[in-house]
């Protein structure tokens, strides 16, 4: 029988043979944080080994990379990557009231396994062109009414194409396609983007008539891997996507102003949609926060059935 002395919980975990350290602790009810689900994608399961370090398995390649990145001393290990087969004395290092609340929050929201999961999605980012001067010139209630009309139409378009609205950010909308096993997320995202442009054109008639101003939107779409999970404080937590794909979609949206287009998509979106979508010009763009130039493609519309 092998014992793990776990502090500061004053819990002794006993098992036969060998075991993954994280699995052994979780199985014994030790409240150890492990947000990535044991894939060495985070460092929240780190522990400090006081005795028995030499009997632990050697760090995996993923753990070694994390240790180098965060400058761990040798006695700090990721529990998810360590196999234990001899007596061990260790201390959890991520432990405070916030951790306890986060663990409770995950349970209340009915989530099991990692709080964040890696998924491939198409990300659409749409923003109202020239919104700031319009908002400064019009009464606040009129601005809110105008945005709500746009967001209502936008959400209908996005959801009817199998996407989900991730967030409203001021005058912008962020949507995800592929979270719910969508067959062609990039095509759905582009068709939604075209739908948003149509919603804006219809709303423009109203805005021109009553305010003498134009209402237009610009759209950017990228496709790739994001971390999707529950983010936020206990009472306001929601599922959202985090990753470079979100940033690129936002930058592509902004680049429309520079090149005179309404919708731009990345190369990863373009490559999977050429059979369904009509594209126009292509551009080599310098996007803020990206190293090197990014190839972007103008969307013209959906191809007519043959």
Does the structure show a pLDDT above 60 at 132?
Answer: yes
Residues 202 and 55 in one domain: no
| Domain tally, the chain | 2
Q: Taking phi first (over 0 means left), then psi (-120 to 50 degrees means alpha), and beta for anything else, what does residue 256 get?
A: alpha
pLDDT of amino acid 38: 81
* 275, part of any domain: yes
* 101, part of any domain: no
Centroid of chain to Cα 260: 29
Task: Give the pTM.
Answer: 0.71
**Structural domain harbouring 174:** 117-302
| Average of per-residue pLDDT across 209-214 | 88
* 104, part of any domain: no
* 186, part of any domain: yes
Helix axis angle, 185-211 to 140-160, nearest 10° = 150
Say which CATH number the domain at 86 has: 3.10.20.30
Least confident of 91-95, 145-149, 155-159, 199-203: 91-95
| Structural domain ending residue among the three candidates 36, 61, 95 | 95
Give the whole-number percent of the chain exceeding pLDDT 90: 55
* 110, part of any domain: no
Residues 212 and 139 in one domain: yes
List C-alpha distances in Å: 167 to 100, 177, 238. Answer: 27, 13, 10
Q: Enter the DSSP assignment of 53.
A: G
pLDDT digits (tens, 9 = 90+) for 230-261: 666 656 667 788 888 999 999 999 999 999 99
Higher-confidence position of 300 and 228: 300
Q: With 0-12 CB in 10 A as exposed, 13-18 as middle and 19+ as buried, what is 224?
A: middle
Give the model's confidence band at 81: pLDDT under 50 very low, under 70 low, under 90 confident, else very high: very high
* 105, part of any domain: no
* 149, part of any domain: yes
């Amino acid at each position: 029988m092998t014992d793990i002395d776990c502090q500061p919980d004053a819990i002794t975990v006993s098992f036969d043979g060998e075991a993954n350290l994280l699995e052994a602790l979780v199985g014994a009810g030790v409240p150890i944080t492990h947000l990535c689900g044991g894939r060495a994608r985070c460092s929240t399961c780190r522990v400090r080994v006081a005795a028995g370090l030499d009997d632990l398995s050697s760090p995996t390649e993923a753990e070694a990379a994390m240790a180098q990145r965060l400058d761990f001393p040798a006695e700090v290990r990721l529990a998810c990557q360590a196999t234990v087969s001899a007596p061990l004395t260790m201390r959890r290092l991520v432990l405070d009231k916030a951790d306890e609340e986060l663990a409770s929050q995950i349970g209340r929201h009915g989530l099991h396994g990692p709080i964040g999961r890696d998924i491939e999605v198409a990300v659409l980012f749409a923003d109202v062109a020239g919104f700031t001067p319009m908002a400064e010139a019009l009464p606040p209630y009129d601005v809110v009414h105008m945005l709500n009309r746009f967001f209502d139409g936008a959400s209908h378009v996005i959801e009817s194409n199998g996407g989900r609205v991730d967030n409203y950010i001021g005058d912008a909308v962020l949507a995800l396609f592929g979270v719910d096993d969508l067959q062609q997320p990039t095509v759905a995202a582009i068709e939604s983007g075209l739908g948003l442009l149509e919603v804006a054109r219809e709303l423009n008639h109203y805005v021109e008539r009553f305010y003498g101003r134009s209402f237009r939107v610009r759209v950017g779409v990228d496709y790739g891997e994001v971390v999707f999970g529950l983010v936020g404080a206990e009472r306001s937590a929601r599922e959202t996507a985090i990753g470079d794909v979100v940033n690129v979609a936002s930058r592509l949206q902004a680049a429309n102003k520079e090149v005179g287009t309404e919708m731009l998509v990345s190369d990863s979106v373009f490559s999977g949609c050429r059979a369904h979508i009509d594209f126009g010009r292509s551009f080599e763009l310098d996007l803020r926060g990206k190293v090197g130039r990014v190839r972007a493609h103008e969307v013209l519309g959906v191809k007519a059935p043959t």
